[in-house]
A and B are shown apart, each in its own frame.
Chain A
């Protein structure tokens, strides 16, 4: 009963939805529903915190039809964070191959786009774009949850 009172008192915590972003989704066959597999290719976990926030109650990206899934076979989009380290290079490539067509790749954060502060480090194989083709980039270190939500809405078109 205490939990019930808490639910009544808290009410809705989701922010009101901002206007839909401009532009056509890059893959119209995924309209309205995009399942996302998150791949940490060597991230510092800063981006992961923001992803957790995006799918939390406040930003609630699920209302736009985006959902995190447990298997690349179920996924339509790969959400890759961090510079691609040598150990994760083949893992990332094989994950990409496991995703059924049509598929898109999102490079999340400055590290994923151009290695960020880890550029030229000895353990880094390159940016995400050097390993798999990237369709959407989200800049920031880490990107703001609003920006991530906006990028996901660009994919679902909702």
Chain B
């Protein structure tokens, strides 16, 4: 119980700093000075002081979307196997439930984007749905491949079993699933090569196009929730493939989790510097490729690890 609460607090407070760290890594590699890792926190503080605006003609989907997005991210932060595996919401720590929660947040935001009735809102929503239709099955299959060995789809049990036997990670199943999960993490969090989080060109946007009409506290909620989703997905990756430290005492486990996610985030940001954004019509090919890897992981686990 305390573990789950500590996870939520750490992810809630730490996720803006993770985004700041990733921006700082990118800035340094580009020869810039960078705004410092606390900049997203300053942005959030400033946005909370601003006036909320709901455009004319928008209804409840527009107003509810930021709340649903943040709420689903918080629930996933509470149940995921990040620093502890004994969640009080044990049935919700199921891999299908976590994937469905992430999808619920995405769909809510897409509806909010559609509700504005602007051209870019609808365009962003339709693109996000295209990406999501390929991302969600991949997350499911990749985590499912790992669950076959354990015989349970509970994320906590998968992480606990890998923590008991760390060498079990070194298998073709884990490798295929890891590559697939890395690709979908980049797609789901709207990063290069699928989407560019710092773009100003509406025609190339996916995630940003949906949130163009949000202002003030609503925008702060969305940015915070997006940062939490990024943290949660990186944390899920860390929990499934490198769950070292998850069995330690809680404060130590939290520290190990923070370090792991920071390292993963820095690596992701550094990798982005070396990549260009893919053309939108090439994105489904990339995601279909990651889906294929996840499918191969399931097939491999069937042949190699049938208990």
Contacts and interface: CB of A to CB of B under 8 A. Distances in A.
Q: Do A and B originate from a single complex? A: yes
Interface of A: 3-4, 7, 10-14, 17, 29-35, 57, 60, 62-65, 67-71, 73-74, 76, 98, 100-102
Interface stretch (B4-12, B209-217, B257-265, B288-296): B209-217
Contact of B31 (A4, A32, A57): A57
A71 B202 CA distance: 9
B269 to A, nearest CB: 13
B33 A69 contact: no
Contacts of B219: 73-74
Nearest to A56: B32
Interface string B26-66: 01111111111001001101100111110000000000000
A10 B51 CA distance: 43
A30 B29 CA distance: 28
Q: What's the interface size class on B, roughly? A: 20 to 34
Contact of B52 (A12, A13, A34, A100): A100
A57 B30 CA distance: 7
A65 B35 contact: yes
A3 B274 contact: yes
Dominant SS among interface residues on chain B: loop
Contact of B50 (A7, A57, A67, A101): A101
B215 A73 contact: yes
A34 B208 CA distance: 18
A102 B39 CA distance: 19
B43 A33 contact: yes
Contact of A14 (B31, B45, B205, B216): B31
Contacts of A67: 35, 43
Given A70-B202, A71-B212, A74-B215, A29 B46 contact: yes
B261 to A, nearest CB: 24
Interface string B197-212: 0011110010010001
Interface of B: 27-36, 39, 42-43, 45-46, 49-53, 199-202, 205, 208, 212-216, 219, 273-274
24 contacts: A4-B274, A12-B28, A13-B32, A17-B33, A32-B42, A32-B45, A33-B45, A33-B46, A60-B27, A62-B27, A62-B32, A63-B35, A65-B39, A65-B42, A68-B200, A70-B205, A70-B208, A73-B212, A73-B213, A73-B219, A74-B219, A98-B53, A100-B53, A101-B51
B274 A70 contact: no
B214 to A, nearest CB: 6
Contacts of B213: 71, 73
A14 B35 CA distance: 12
A32 B219 CA distance: 17
Nearest to A17: B33
Q: Which 10 A-B pairs have the closest CB atoms?
A: A13-B31, A73-B215, A14-B33, A32-B42, A63-B33, A100-B51, A101-B51, A71-B212, A33-B42, A33-B46
> B30, B33, B34, B200: which has the most chain A beta carbons within 10 Å?
B33
A97 to B, nearest CB: 10
Contact of A29 (B28, B31, B36, B49): B49
B125 to A, nearest CB: 15
B29 to A, nearest CB: 6
A113 to B, nearest CB: 25
B237 to A, nearest CB: 24
B266 to A, nearest CB: 15
Contacts of A35: 43
B51 to A, nearest CB: 4
A80 B132 CA distance: 38
Contacts of A29: 46, 49-50
A100 B43 contact: no
